[in-house]
Amino acid sequence: MSYDLAYPLTDDGPQPVSRTYQYRKVMKPMLERKRRARINRCLDELKELMVNALQSEGENVAKLEKADILELTVRHLHKLRRQRRLSLNPTVDTDRFRAGFTHAANEVSRCLASIPGVDVRLGTQLMTHLGHKLNDIQRAAAGTDTPPASPASPALSTVSSSSGYVTPSPPSSPVPLHTAVPLDCSTNSFSKSSPVWRPW
């Protein structure tokens, strides 16, 4: 019986080999095959995912090598991360909200301008209030103070004796009231013959 496997030759003669060494010698090739099989399986799954993703974006991929699969996967993940950052960017959300708020305020301005008999002071108070709210949103988004608002005119600094509402000074860029193009939002209830509701 040969002792080459169990007893490696040394200068002092054959030495006994531990069971751990024998186990590693037998298992190492098997573990390597399993590791390569896992890598190849994952690469095949990545290839399928990337081909579907690229085809959905209009790109046609005929053949992908292993290095191509990994490179395209890294690029795709970077792209998804950039898109996620943009979607979670509070500045973008604030800009969208501010644009919608401004659009709604302009619609209110046009509607008020198209309704006959609406008191100018009521419309001015409402639009000034909306303008100040918009400035508050801008200050909260920027984290800094905005330039001081323009001084209030005597007509806009009045106090309604019945409601006690103090008209704030107009913002630096108030939403226009009478300069806006009137929007046809009149109905039968807003005809000239109908009485106009007033809060005082």
Q: Which helix (H) or strand (E) holds 134?
A: helix 120-142
Dihedral of CA 7/11/13/18: which sign?
negative
Q: Locate 29 and state its tokens.
A: 């090739």
Burial of 165 (C-beta count, 10 Å sphere; 0-12/13-18/19+)? middle
| Residue 45 confidence class, pLDDT cut points 50, 70, 90 | very high
CA–CA distance, 86 with 113 (Å, rounded to integer): 38
Range with top average pLDDT, 10-14, 59-63, 140-144: 59-63
CA–CA distance, 141 with 145 (Å, rounded to integer): 10
What domains lie within the chain, and their CATH numbers?
Answer: 19-87 (4.10.280), 90-146+155-185 (no CATH)
pLDDT of 25 > 70? The answer is yes
Q: Which helix (H) or strand (E) holds 184?
A: none
pTM score, whole prediction:
0.34
